[in-house]
């Protein structure tokens, strides 16, 4: 049972690019779970992007890959087309979030209650209010690293511990492994994009991270949604 543990590891990865295939293969090898935030309106898009000055393959998976590829993990909303939600009115936010949710649910066959904001910090209190009042979404990840293992106090502004590429990653691994979870629940939450593993040629580093953090007897490996379900807070 998830609730028997006091220490948790969860991952959250965005965009649904083709690198997710290799990424999930490694996750499954080490028994680590992730939530994958997908843009249903971009499935099958073949393109490259300039990301931090580096030319990257950002080809998205196709819709028919979703159910099998992400089995055992969690699919969540990333909006239909990856806009800046802070620039949209309430109806625009609703169309992007709810449209994506419905499309992804049809592919996955289960209810979707979570998301990651496209662009990370691009949302407002009005954005949050629209999502909570007009959709079933109840948690949303941003990109503000907390560098702590304290679970979020507000699931609609869920801050991760750090990004996968962060220089502090392995120091945080050591701290997490050494930490004693007495009364407080500890959550090590890592986010990123699988295409960046090609970008930085960091697949070996990612596997070293998995080898370091996997298989801990005092730790549960969960999706974002599983952690949310076992540690509910008011949806504010």
The closest alpha carbon to 127, from 168, 83, 160, 167, belongs to: 83
pLDDT in tens, 21-67: 999 999 999 999 999 999 999 999 998 888 888 898 999 999 999 99
* 69, pLDDT greater than 80: yes
Q: Which domains does the chain have, with CATH numbers?
A: 2-230 (3.20.20.370)
The closest alpha carbon to 35, from 216, 190, 211, belongs to: 190
CA angle at residue 28 from 226 to 100, to 5 degrees? 50
Give residue 235's pLDDT.
Answer: 56
What pTM did the predictor assign?
0.95
Q: What is the mean pLDDT of residues 135-142?
A: 98
C-alpha 24/C-alpha 26 separation (Å) is 5
pLDDT in tens, 143-187: 999 999 999 889 999 999 999 999 999 999 999 999 987 768 999
């Amino acid at each position: 049972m998830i609730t028997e543990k006091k220490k948790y590891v969860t991952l959250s990865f965005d965009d649904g690019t083709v690198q997710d295939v290799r990424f999930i293969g490694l996750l499954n090898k080490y028994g680590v779970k992730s939530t994958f935030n997908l843009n249903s309106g971009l499935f099958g898009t073949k393109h490259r992007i300039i990301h931090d000055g580096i030319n990257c393959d950002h080809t998205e998976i196709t819709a028919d890959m979703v159910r099998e590829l992400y089995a055992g993990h969690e699919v969540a909303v990333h909006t239909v087309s990856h806009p800046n939600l802070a620039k949209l009115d309430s109806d625009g936010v609703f169309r992007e979030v709810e449209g994506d949710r419905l499309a992804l649910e049809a592919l996955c066959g289960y209810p979707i209650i979570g998301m990651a904001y496209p662009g990370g910090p691009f949302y407002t209190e009005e954005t949050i209010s629209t999502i909570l009042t007009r959709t079933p979404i109840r948690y949303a990840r941003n990109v503000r690293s907390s560098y702590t293992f304290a679970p979020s106090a507000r699931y609609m502004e869920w801050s991760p511990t750090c990004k996968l590429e962060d220089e502090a990653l392995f120091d945080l691994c050591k701290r997490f492994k050494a930490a004693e979870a007495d009364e407080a629940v500890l959550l090590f939450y890592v986010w990123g994009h699988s295409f960046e593993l090609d970008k930085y040629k960091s697949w070996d580093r990612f596997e070293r991270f998995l080898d370091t953090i996997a298989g801990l007897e005092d730790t549960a490996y969960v999706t974002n949604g599983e952690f949310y379900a076992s540690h509910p807070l008011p949806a504010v």
